Structure 1
């Protein structure tokens, strides 16, 4: 890759994201996330932690309420344990078939991509926070399968509690990401942290576009961030567009498609979480679905 001025850059190797966490739930949503993680790992020689998150069956006891005798509670716990066992079997089978198809080794030595499988049993969705904090990146598919509500909970906790960027696959699964990136820029602290946390990805992109969506409440321009990215040796450009009637998220997606971008970077929950919940917001719209992979950080 070269800067706009033509000077070669050296944005590879040491700046790469080396540890990618892929939370699994033992359903059809696992494979798209693993495939996306493999595409990233191949470019960067990264290690993939495929981690099955399983709910502690005893967590069901406080939920049953009054009127349940010991036998009924035992039955509920046994059913939860049976479901956890089925999901574990499914997750292991998905992991095994994915690893064989992707040609990913379990040997982490050297610069080739590698992967390991493990299981975490705990209080969901909060159990994802600690392992996510030790990773460079957390990768999810969109909410799919019987566990879609649980996956949505894991995504939100990973975004709000881990301090790490979260990559959501495109709605159709998508392919390789990170070659052409569109940065949704509004000058917020969350957007600034998102850019800082994802510099290892941005610095290996072929092109980065900084887009300001003018919704009547934004006073920044893309120029300052473009300048910073250019000083890092990144082929960056910027522009400001008017928000469409469909909203900011749809505008970002449309502009990304027009640019041929394969990923959109956003600062998650730039407004308070309460305001996002009451009024809706760009983050929630991005979580709902997108034809382009979304990288969110906060």
Structure 2
């Protein structure tokens, strides 16, 4: 019975399916690498999603379709190359308890496909494009955060590790609670976790209460409250995270307003835009 309960706990506290939207842009490699890195750790299935233009019979539409197919082939080749570096030689195999991968090439609008497939994923992984010509955040990121009820991992660049030293941005909101709950599989593997409250607001439950909650899950953490000394909550949080050596920030996205409590709406936008630290978000 003890073994059965332990097995159930492991299953509950894990990521088993990761969705990685790919668009044939310069950030695809970083997203693929991070997804495979986490996938290997959690023995997960990595599902790459590529949205190609819907078929059109006219000449212009035909050219668009052929260009889309060419780009899709390049994206598939890039994904397969990354998979092979992790010992996955064939896409589509479904081995339980082992890292595996699949590639979905579907017609339609990327944001709509993410809303559909993201709802049945444990984590959605994006990387920020390097090119300033590409919009960031784009509608696909917004769709993942607002339309899937699943957590989103945003990467500013290629990473070698995620979540070894984690900072939790705490403001007592429902969104922050969801982010922490979703992040437990990563926090269980963190070497150090710091719960940070920005500002002088009386937050309830407090950061110390969060520490006690995490301890129930076997996660050792510390709590601190920092004054708002910089131009914004996000810059203060980033300064604390940098001093802590964080490689992940856990944050509730688009926190709703409640009187007398800080609002993370503007912080969400600023944390998506920042280029220093991966961010794990949930709405």
TM-score, normalisation: structure 2: 0.85
SS in 1 for 2:135: helix
Deviation for aligned residue 1:50: 1.2
Task: Report if aligned partners of 2:46, 2:101 keep a CA contact under 8 Å in 1.
Answer: yes
Deviation for aligned residue 1:260: 1.6
Q: How many Å separate the matches in 2 of 1:294 and 1:144?
A: 17
Task: Report if aligned partners of 1:33, 1:140 keep a CA contact under 8 Å in 2.
Answer: yes
Matched, 1:196 2:197: no
Q: 1:96 to 1:75 in 2, by over 3 A?
A: same
Task: Report if aligned partners of 1:25, 1:52 keep a CA contact under 8 Å in 2.
Answer: yes
Structure of higher RCO (CA pairs closer than 8 Å, 6+ residues apart): 1
Q: 1:187 to 1:150 in 2, by over 3 A?
A: closer
Matches within 5 A, 1:120-269: 120-145=106-131, 148-149=134-135, 152-169=138-155, 171-214=156-199, 219-220=203-204, 221-269=206-254
Q: How many Å separate the matches in 2 of 1:255 and 1:10?
A: 37
* Structure 1 residue aligned with 2:38: 40
Task: Report if aligned partners of 1:178, 1:263 keep a CA contact under 8 Å in 2.
Answer: yes
Q: Which structure 1 segments of 5+ residues have no match?
A: 1-8, 59-72, 273-278
Computed over aligned residues only, the root mean square deviation of the Cα atoms, in angstroms, reads 2.6
* Structure 1 residue aligned with 2:88: 104
CA deviation profile, 1:220-265 (whole Å, cap 9, x unmatched): 4311111100121101111000123231112222211211211001
Task: Report if aligned partners of 1:47, 1:115 keep a CA contact under 8 Å in 2.
Answer: yes
Task: Report if aligned partners of 2:94, 2:100 keep a CA contact under 8 Å in 1.
Answer: yes
* Structure 2 residue aligned with 1:117: 103
Deviation for aligned residue 1:153: 1.4
Deviation for aligned residue 1:86: 2.8
